[in-house]
Amino acid sequence: MGLVLAGLWIGQNVSLLPVDASANAPVYDDLFRVLFSIGTILFLGIVGLLVYSLVRFRRRAGELGDGLAIEGNLPLEIVWTAIPAIVVLFVGIYSYDIYERMGGMVPLHDHSSMHAAAEMASVADVVINTSEERIWGGIANAGIAEGAPQSPPLAVDVTAIQFAFLFHYPEGDFISGELHVPVGRPVQLRMKANDVIHAFWVPQFRLKQDVIPGQPTLLSFTATRPGSYPIVCAELCGPYHGGMRSTVVVHEDDAFEAWLASNRPAPVTVSAATATPFA
Amino acid sequence: MTIARPADFEAGSLQPEGWLRYFSFSLDHKVIGLQYLVCGFVFYLIGGALAGVIRTELSSPISDFVSRDVYNQILTLHGTVMIFLWIVPVVNGAFGNYLIPFYVGARDMAFPRLNAVAFWLIPPAGILLISSYFISGGAAQSGWTAYPPLSLTTPALGQVLWIVSVLLLGGSSIFGGINFIATILKLRRPGLKMMHLPMYCWAMLGTSLLVVLSTPVLAGTLILLSFDIVAHTGFFNPSMGGNVVVYQHLFWFYSHPAVYIMVLPAFGLVSEILPVHARKPLFGYTTMVYSIMGIVVLGLIVWAHHMFTSGTPPWMRLFFTIATSFIAVPTGIKFFNWLATLWGGRIALNSAMLFACAFIVNFVFGGITGIALAQVPFDIHVHDTYFVVAHFHYIVYGGTVFVIFSALYHWYPKFTGRLLNEDLGRLHFLLTFIGFNLCFAPQHWLGLNGMPRRVAEYDPSFTTWNQVSSVGALLMALSTVPLLINVILTAYRGQPAGDNPWRALTPEWLTSSPPPVENWVGEAPLVTHPYAYGTPEGQLDLTAASGSELWRASQR
């Protein structure tokens, strides 16, 4: 009992994660706390039992005899089969629920559901390319934004190459090496890779998506906390994989418009230099 | 016409004698087992040196120790060597070959020549793999997963040599698996039923089924990949209409079961070691058998949890999350049974026991992070980060390698007739346990906070914990020194062990140490209760009871 309380207390008070900066990060952090609590209880319980057994039942000098000849105990076996089964079932259903709230269960992967998704686009803030191009996996911004009236999502085309991310803003028709997004407005990244597999990861957003050649992918999120956060490539993509980093800057609304305007007049500006590691 | 008489064969052996037999095409399962063990250990040292290069590079946030493409070659070689040349051959080949014929009451494996072929595929494959580092272009540098299109764009020769080497090792593993299945099912001594077998036999049966079912898939996949590289076909090349995610499915269809190929035999070995040193029967034999088979079945249907960020459809993510989580149930049964085995025992806290118990601690930790990783939303954040690196090192190093060390202390007297030194053994244990946890525990934090895996450079805010991790790695490197001294010195002047120093009941101890060529002089013993240790409840062994126990008994 004390063990359970200790586990819950540690789970609730642990801070191992970076700051949360997107709408789905707090949801994720809830899941992390639940998993951490359960894990702490199990680990402390099992290690406690093990250490206690090793001390209590250690062979003392001069003892040559055997322990008790207990071959097994069926009720006990049933108990420790049932408890983990219930726990993992609970964790599985709970994380499924979390995943749904993060928008991961919105089907984007085939034509029929694509059209269905396009029809409810205004509700779910999912905008699918009108082209017949097949969209793979990814995360839509479904659950979280539901209900609240939202501004239309900001679309950004992301191209991952060895060894940089290029962000093309259709609104201003320019390419940036950094991702700039407004706070509180859904952003939809339309991602593609031309050479090898990359992965787009923002630890503070708790989001990661592989960018796979031949499979255009959609990733949606809503930033909630202004600031600069790292964008990291998380899939081995070649020698400079470790240097394939960039920054996502989350602006207040007017600051974002200002940034957009300052870039708009010069459509050829390629400020990718900050993202390339060759320097 | 000459008639062969038995005396003709006794005069001169066809097999080399003495130390030379360890370098020969010997057909003796014990010789082959030790060949696997020593060969694997040599590759462990090589793989460890490669890990040392990685940790040295990562002790500073910039890429300053080796060049970036060499770093990628090193991490590819490290993964491949440790998996295919150290853990799989040792935990299956070495202990499997040495122990399984004893456990089933046979004089050798079912196919001794196939057995020798399986071993002798390993040294050339290993040499080929290591030597690819020295050719122009260097070794493969696309990670041990060799995901296309990266593996199609990196220098071709190194990648093709990597494929050939892994194919040879996979072939070796399949030969071994077939041999174990045939031996366990068909070579059992008359009167010995399946449910009489020691647990390691069940573990090896399950493992071998996984090997035979899944390794051919890897072989086929790698052959297709080599066509893509050499003949410019387009199976996995998106610019030619191929699909890279198909490769990932095929690769993980082998490589997830590969985790169980590395871990199930370790479970089996622990089930042999704990009862002997705790002087108690193995708790819940029947449920242990069923849980092994449960892990085998579930292990085949969880592979896509390595691909949660690869754009897999939602229903697939849900299915693989649930299937992966449920592996915790049979695995949990095994751990609770081991704890129950220790409960109420007379536990000898020797090196074998310490390593086996540290295995329980490490594996439970790695298992808990594994359940977390099975949850899609959690995995999306930490996939391909140092969190995953930490997780699988807790499973394969903290799990399997600790068990290999434990098994070495337990069976070394059987191999040589001498007991390993306990003081050096405990020093080895302490250095390994502290070094291991110092090395890999901080990596969980690194992964959660934004350090991806397989990078030569990282954000400077991660420097401190990376340096702690590197210190841990240094301790692990140092821990092999007492082990090597112990193993080498003991072989010459160690304390003689007698035939059965642990008073064990399993059949390998019911012969001389080291055993004769055909295992037993005379008939093989029939052991129907391999774990019949312990005194029945309520009965006191007067010859062995301490004074306080006698007093307590008299009070009842």
The verdict on A167 and A253 lying in the same domain is yes
- Mean pLDDT within B253-274: 95
What mean pLDDT is reported for chain A?
78
B24 pLDDT higher than 90: no
Cα A88 to Cα A35, A256, B371: the distances in Å are 10, 44, 8
> Domain for residue A117, yes or no?
no
CB atoms B348 and A59 under 8 Å: yes
Round to the nearest angstrom and report the end-to-end CA distance of chain A. Answer: 57
The verdict on A163 and A254 lying in the same domain is yes
The verdict on A165 and A96 lying in the same domain is no
3-state secondary structure chain A: CHHHHHHHHHHHHCCCCCCCCECCHHHHHHHHHHHHHHHHHHHHHHHHHHHHHHHHCECCCCCCCCCECCCCCHHHHHHHHHHHHHHHHHHHHHHHHHHHHHCCCCCCCCHHHHHHHHHCHHHHCCCCCCCCCCCEEEECCHHHHCCCCCCCCEEEEEEEECCEEEEEECCCCEEECCEEEECCCEEEEEEEECCCCEEEEEHHHCEEEEEECCECEEEEEEECCCEEEEEEECCCCCCCHHHCEEEEEEECHHHHHHHHHHHCCCCCCECHHHCCCCC
The verdict on A93 and A175 lying in the same domain is no
B19 pLDDT higher than 90: no
Residue B137 is classified by DSSP as T
B87 pLDDT higher than 80: yes
The verdict on A95 and A188 lying in the same domain is no
Q: Please, which pLDDT band fits residue A273 given cuts at 50, 70 and 90? A: very low
Structure tokens at B200: 């390691």
> Domain for residue A40, yes or no?
yes
- Least Cα distance to A1 among A57, A37, A41, A28 occurs for A41
A247 lies within 8 A of chain B by CB: no
The verdict on A97 and A180 lying in the same domain is no
Q: Please, which pLDDT band fits residue B86 given cuts at 50, 70 and 90? A: very high
What number of C-beta contacts closer than 8 Å exist between A and B? 305
A164 pLDDT higher than 80: yes
How many Å lie between the alpha carbon of B228 and the closest alpha carbon of chain A? 15
For residue A133, the model assigns a pLDDT of 47
Interface with A, mutate which of B338, B353, B384, B463 (most A CBs under 10 A): B384
- Mean pLDDT within A213-217: 87
How many Å lie between the alpha carbon of A81 and the closest alpha carbon of chain B? 6
Structure tokens at B91: 């935990």
**Which residues have a Cβ under 8 Å from the Cβ of B193 and sit 6 or more positions away?**
B528
Strand (E) or helix (H) holding B440: helix B422-448
A140 pLDDT higher than 70: no
Which residue has 């004089």 as its token pair?
Answer: B107
A157 pLDDT higher than 60: yes
Q: Please, which pLDDT band fits residue B23 given cuts at 50, 70 and 90? A: confident
- Cα angle value A74/A76/A82 (rounded, 5°): 100
Q: State which amino acid sits at residue B177.
A: G
For residue B485, the model assigns a pLDDT of 95
Classified as helix, coil or strand, B473 is helix
Instruction: Name which of A26-35, B16-25, B270-279, B456-465 the model is least confident about.
Output: B16-25
How many Å lie between the alpha carbon of A218 and the closest alpha carbon of chain B? 9
For residue B549, the model assigns a pLDDT of 59
Q: Please, which pLDDT band fits residue B249 given cuts at 50, 70 and 90? A: very high
B11 pLDDT higher than 90: no
Q: What is the pTM of this model?
A: 0.90
Using an 8 Å CB-CB cutoff, list chain B residues near A42. Answer: 364, 368
Residue B122 is classified by DSSP as H
Cα A65 to Cα B370, B411, B530, B544: the distances in Å are 39, 22, 18, 5
- Mean pLDDT within B268-291: 94
What mean pLDDT is reported for chain B?
91
A132 pLDDT higher than 60: no
Distance CA B384, CA B367 (A): 18
**Number of domains chain A contains:** 2
Interface with B, mutate which of A105, A106, A231, A235 (most B CBs under 10 A): A235
For B486-535, how does the pLDDT look when each residue is reduced to its tens digit (9 = 90+)? Answer: 999 998 888 998 899 999 999 999 999 899 988 998 889 999 999 988 87
Q: Please, which pLDDT band fits residue B114 given cuts at 50, 70 and 90? A: very high
Q: What percent of chain B has pLDDT over 70?
A: 94
Distance CA A192, CA B100 (A): 52
Sign of the Cα pseudo-torsion (A236, A242, A243, A249, in order): positive
- Mean pLDDT within B471-483: 96
Using an 8 Å CB-CB cutoff, list chain B residues near A143. Answer: none
Taking only residues 38 to 97 of chain A, the set having a beta carbon closer than 8 angstroms to any beta carbon of chain B reads 39, 42-43, 46-47, 49-50, 53-54, 57-60, 62-73, 76-77, 80-81, 84-85, 87-89, 91-92, 95-96
Distance CA B139, CA B114 (A): 30
Using an 8 Å CB-CB cutoff, list chain B residues near A106. Answer: 314
Distance CA B204, CA B201 (A): 5
- Residue A176: give its domain's CATH number: 2.60.40.420
> Domain for residue A279, yes or no?
no
For residue B553, the model assigns a pLDDT of 57
Q: What is the ipTM of this complex?
A: 0.87
- Phi then psi dihedrals of residue B280, to 5 deg: -145, 155
**Which residues have a Cβ under 8 Å from the Cβ of B425 and sit 6 or more positions away?**
B350, B351, B409, B482, B486
Distance CA B499, CA A15 (A): 55
> Domain for residue A129, yes or no?
no
Cα B295 to Cα A197, B266, B290, B307, B325: the distances in Å are 32, 13, 9, 20, 11
The verdict on A156 and A223 lying in the same domain is yes
The minimal CB distance from A57 to the residues B69, B311, B342 is found for B342
> Domain for residue A107, yes or no?
no
For A85-128, how does the pLDDT look when each residue is reduced to its tens digit (9 = 90+)? Answer: 998 888 888 888 888 877 766 655 444 344 434 444 433 333 34
B326 pLDDT higher than 60: yes
- Cβ contact A67:B344 at 8 Å: yes
For residue A135, the model assigns a pLDDT of 55
How many Å lie between the alpha carbon of A59 and the closest alpha carbon of chain B? 5
The verdict on A33 and A95 lying in the same domain is yes
Using an 8 Å CB-CB cutoff, list chain A residues near B454. Answer: 236, 241-242
The verdict on A155 and A259 lying in the same domain is yes
A31 lies within 8 A of chain B by CB: yes
The minimal CB distance from B541 to the residues A66, A80, A234 is found for A66
> Domain for residue A272, yes or no?
no
Boundaries of domain holding A205: 151-263
Interface with B, mutate which of A196, A211, A217, A233 (most B CBs under 10 A): A196
**Taking CA atoms, what residue in B is nearest to A110?**
B313
The verdict on A239 and A162 lying in the same domain is yes
- Least Cα distance to B342 among A257, A59, A83 occurs for A59
For residue B14, the model assigns a pLDDT of 59
A129 pLDDT higher than 60: no
Taking only residues 151 to 180 of chain A, the set having a beta carbon closer than 8 angstroms to any beta carbon of chain B reads none
For residue B480, the model assigns a pLDDT of 95
For residue B554, the model assigns a pLDDT of 56
> Domain for residue A73, yes or no?
no
> Domain for residue A125, yes or no?
no
